[in-house]
Structure 1
Amino acid sequence: MTGAVSGTVTGAAVRTVLGDVPPGELGVCDAHDHLFLRTPSLPGQELDDPGAALDELRGFAASGGQAVAQWTPWGLGRRREELPALSRASGVHVVAATGVHRWAHYDQDARDRMPEDADGLAALFVTELTRGPVRAGMIKVAGGFHGLDDHARRSLRAAALAHHATGAPVGVHLEGGTAALDVLDVLCGEHGVPARRVLLGHLGRSPDAGIHRRVAEAGAYLVFDGPSRAHHATDWRLFDCLAALVEAGYADRVLLGGDTTTASARASGDGPGMRFLLDGLRPRLIRVFGDAPTDQVLRLNPAQALATPWPTP
């Protein structure tokens, strides 16, 4: 099987925690993962160990990985100030996120500190994208389960405002892989964000080929993440989903990520860890689709999705 293979964005840069890099230098990328994460929804499974995070990055690098997009947003223990040292020590580019997650992921203290309206949230996002020694390179927000609640709509509007101010890409957590079209209606239809600047996560959890094709036709990126989670339709439906998109000519809309969200999912726990993306899935991708589409998904697409013509400070 073959799919359309396109190049990377020119005249733009990927904003990493060590500074902006040309898209062509990003390399093989885990397009959705977490080095640090703390949420009341996952008690006792916090990702808060810098040593374990470095081990994950080094393992990923040993398998040929060169970049990781960390989607942990504001208020969830992302330890942003520690990311540059981890990037230097591992040799892996790290793209950090600003933004906010679903309301359920915040304790009362974080809820009290969170700006109450979209304009306030957008100002926070823009500040984290453009100022300080460790700048975010993307915005992460979230939809709801088969719909959008008030917090989701406020967050999406804030993400759109921040995008229009900076050009930053917008990654969206889709709860259970659902409400993809609702998200695009709000971000792109109501608020004018170009679909090609939107990355929709967890689509593998709802393996609806019709929805996937409509998302690809709109121009958004489809992020298939969380491999080897037996309770989700991930690995065992992944290749069906990818084949449908590749055969329809949408290989250039696909991204892959590990989405490690718990300590037990790391290689030091019971899970395959970040390197499974390359040790486990990449050989199968090459066998099924060939070298060029695999390189498209793991290297070219992330560079294009994350590249931004950042405004001059």
Structure 2
Amino acid sequence: MVSRVRTVLGDIRPAELGVCDAHDHLFLRSRQLPGQELDDVPAARAELAAFRAAGGAAVVQWTPYGLGRRATDLPELSRTTGVRLVCATGLHQAAHYETELLGSLRGRLAEVFVSELTEGIGTTGVRAGLIKVAGGFHALDGHARWTMTAAAEAHRATGAPIAVHLELGTGALDVLDLLCGELGVPGDRVILGHLNRFPDPVVQRQAAASGCWLAFDGPSRAHFATDWRMPEAVRALADAGFGDRLLLGGDTVVAGARSVDGGPGMPYLLRRVRSRLEEALGAELVDRVLTEHPGRAFAADWA
């Protein structure tokens, strides 16, 4: 069986993905972010067009079940902008959801994930291409264990990769102990997000040793050590032999962060971050991080 990346317009060969923002959001609605929703189709189209103009070719949207993915709009956005889009299933932290919605998923969460990966999201026909779950701050609560157990079951049924939100970049080793240890998910099927937010080189090397993917995503905020520490971190990982496990993303989560609304947005990844990392890693490796690596990380032998 040949591995394929599952986009909203169908499965493609990994090499067809092109320059990829490996972690971002076109749409996102959460009760944790009132009044800051990403819910504007024209703004999403403009953001994709700006990313395309900067040299981008693909975006992986990590917005999971129940948080306003707008899967119905994704195929047309992909067609009109020429940017390939990958959509997620999965479930975020419990705080993002109403209790009633979570209760309705008890006993059938893995089934929902599998259905969205193989049959499509609702009646849209859009199939998800990854499973997104989330850890907690330096720990895994019962909700995280429930969602990750369901994600592992869905992975075994479909081959889909599992992408993990690390809360403030923490808990990477606990996540790997659960997913790869207890639940038996191969390390190269796990993508850890937000590692740049907790720049511990020892943890990053230990995580990389599992074979997982290390995603450095999101431009600097005042309380995160992101851009200015990222070159040092990725260079250390490359020097330790883990340069082939790196991914880069923008992680735009609120409307004000879009480039079309005055923020850094998706183009920032290529406009600023890329050149800075080239000084640390060299242009050849950064090019592979943006093109070859996402194709490998998000491809699957779809069952």
- TM-score of the superposed pair, with normalisation by structure 1: 0.93
User: Structure 2 CA distance, aligned partners of 1:69 and 1:60?
Assistant: 13
Partner in structure 1 of residue 38 of structure 2: 47
Partner in structure 2 of residue 307 of structure 1: 299
Partner in structure 2 of residue 273 of structure 1: 265
Deviation of residue 296 (structure 1)? 1.6
For residue 236 of structure 1, give the secondary structure of its aligned residue in structure 2: coil
Alignment of 1:54-65 (within 5 A): 54-65=45-56
Match of 2:97 among 99, 102, 106: 106
Partner in structure 1 of residue 106 of structure 2: 116
Cα deviations by residue, 1:20-46 (Å, 9 ceiling, x for unpaired): 000010011000000000001111100
Partner in structure 2 of residue 13 of structure 1: 4
Matched length = 299
Match of 1:241 among 223, 233, 243: 233
Describe the shift of the 1:61–1:271 C-alpha distance in structure 2 as closer, same or farther (beyond 3 A): same
Task: Give 1:175's aligned amino acid.
Answer: E
Partner in structure 2 of residue 180 of structure 1: 172
For residue 247 of structure 2, give the secondary structure of its aligned residue in structure 1: strand
User: Structure 2 CA distance, aligned partners of 1:12 and 1:138?
Assistant: 14
Deviation of residue 102 (structure 1)? 0.2
User: Structure 2 CA distance, aligned partners of 1:242 and 1:19?
Assistant: 32
User: Structure 2 CA distance, aligned partners of 1:186 and 1:240?
Assistant: 29
User: Structure 2 CA distance, aligned partners of 1:45 and 1:23?
Assistant: 34
Alignment of 1:192-211 (within 5 A): 192-211=184-203
Pairwise CA RMSD of aligned residues? 1.1
Task: Give 2:231's aligned amino acid.
Answer: F
Task: Give 1:211's aligned amino acid.
Answer: V
> What is the identity percentage for the equivalent residue pairs of Structure 1 and Structure 2?
59
Deviation of residue 289 (structure 1)? 1.7
Deviation of residue 200 (structure 1)? 0.4
For residue 227 of structure 1, give the secondary structure of its aligned residue in structure 2: coil
Is 1:125 aligned to 2:113, yes or no? yes
Deviation of residue 231 (structure 1)? 2.0
Note if contact 2:231-2:276 (Cα within 8 Å) is conserved in structure 1. Answer: no
Alignment of 1:66-215 (within 5 A): 66-113=57-104, 115-117=105-107, 120-132=108-120, 133-215=125-207
Is 1:259 aligned to 2:251, yes or no? yes
Structure 1's unaligned 5+ residue stretches are: 1-9
Structure 2's unaligned 5+ residue stretches are: none
Deviation of residue 249 (structure 1)? 1.6
Deviation of residue 290 (structure 1)? 1.3
Note if contact 2:39-2:68 (Cα within 8 Å) is conserved in structure 1. Answer: yes
For residue 241 of structure 2, give the secondary structure of its aligned residue in structure 1: coil
Note if contact 1:169-1:199 (Cα within 8 Å) is conserved in structure 2. Answer: yes
For residue 222 of structure 1, give the secondary structure of its aligned residue in structure 2: strand
Cα deviations by residue, 1:249-296 (Å, 9 ceiling, x for unpaired): 211111010000000101122411100000111112223321211112
User: Structure 1 CA distance, aligned partners of 2:81 and 2:99?
Assistant: 35
Deviation of residue 110 (structure 1)? 3.0
Task: Give 2:163's aligned amino acid.
Answer: G
**After TM superposition, which residue ranges in structure 1, 4 or more long, deviate above 4 angstroms?**
none
Is 1:24 aligned to 2:9, yes or no? no
230-239 or 197-206: bigger deviation = 230-239
User: Structure 2 CA distance, aligned partners of 1:220 and 1:291?
Assistant: 23
Note if contact 1:168-1:310 (Cα within 8 Å) is conserved in structure 2. Answer: yes
Deviation of residue 232 (structure 1)? 1.0
Note if contact 2:232-2:280 (Cα within 8 Å) is conserved in structure 1. Answer: no
- TM-score of the superposed pair, with normalisation by structure 2: 0.96
Note if contact 1:251-1:296 (Cα within 8 Å) is conserved in structure 2. Answer: no
Deviation of residue 310 (structure 1)? 0.8
Task: Give 1:165's aligned amino acid.
Answer: A
